[in-house]
Structure 1
């Protein structure tokens, strides 16, 4: 019995140093492990800081949420052809109705003008027929009024007034048909005065009159486009055109400047 106890004690004594060594090693490991882990975490944090750091900026942005109001567009910018987009235009029913009414009114006006022109042409044809057949106002040489014996400007103006309504014919200088300067030429010829036919040449006949205030009946009012006989009070008798024939009008018939020439 005593030998068994002694043997057990001896084994315990032999194991004690081994247990002591193992315990010391465990405590050393427990102390070192947190330190190693802490060192590893510190290294990892330094690595993260190094990879996620950004350069410092000195630019300060003010009111970055404010809406931009700039409308400047760089030259040569291509916006996909939006600036040349062809947007179809539409019209309201009122606009369409107005266009239709305007078109109808225009067509009616053209029809009236055409009818008037045809009527005037018929009247001129009748006048020429009367002249050629010996009937009517200016039917023949014998029916043309004789000029007065006194050759004055006033007498000439009164004589010219008797030819109102006579026909206009371009280039003509007879009662059967005359143009503006042909009418002036023919009337003066009845008083023994020979004048050139065309208005540009008539601008230099006789003597000049300074202004319309000084003009007298029988004076010639003329420019390079038109000629007329003054009858007083700002009025003239003249051959106008095929539609109007020979008529009394105001000086407004001259659309540009004119000269006044006194022959009688």
Structure 2
């Protein structure tokens, strides 16, 4: 009986010991988890900031230094052409037109003075006493044909001077008067004021008068024409011409002609 009691007490003690040990294991695990959490917190590290933001992203673009003997593939020796603004080109064209007009007027005055001098000389000869030997009677001069009022001297310079007075006149296709004319109509009307009849066609005007070999020999008042355009030369490589409805009558260079052109002298 005593043996059986002792055996039961031993079994009970073992059971109690097992119960206590199973309760201690989670506590140990919980303790380890807590310790791990604390160790993770205490082992955290702070890394220094290694990248810095540039405040001026364009500093390298605004300044650089280069060796004097650096080779850039010849870019540093490029000869960049200097261009002119529209205002500068227009100013040069206006100055050239003014110079051409002044030259035309000067030549007109000179030739007018020369014509007056010749007329005076002829009048002086006519007033000389009759010679001993009777000269044959001169034939009567033909009656003068009435003509429109024109500048003092009917010469090329006078033609150019008259033409310059119609800058800004309107362009009208097929027109032949200052109220509106096309390119050949403008040339035809100006020459008609000097008693010269010209055809109303730029191609036909290429064959009037006498041919001038080159632009270097052209004089104010010469006709410059090709199959599609006609103008009046005013000197210094410039012409006055009726261009189109948008631009009207104005001074340009001879570059307005596409391709070649003929130079004809009528007066």
Q: TM-score, normalised on structure 1?
A: 0.45
Q: Which has the higher contact order (CA 8 A, sep 6+)?
A: 2
More helix by share: 1
Q: TM-score, normalised on structure 2?
A: 0.44
Larger radius of gyration: 1
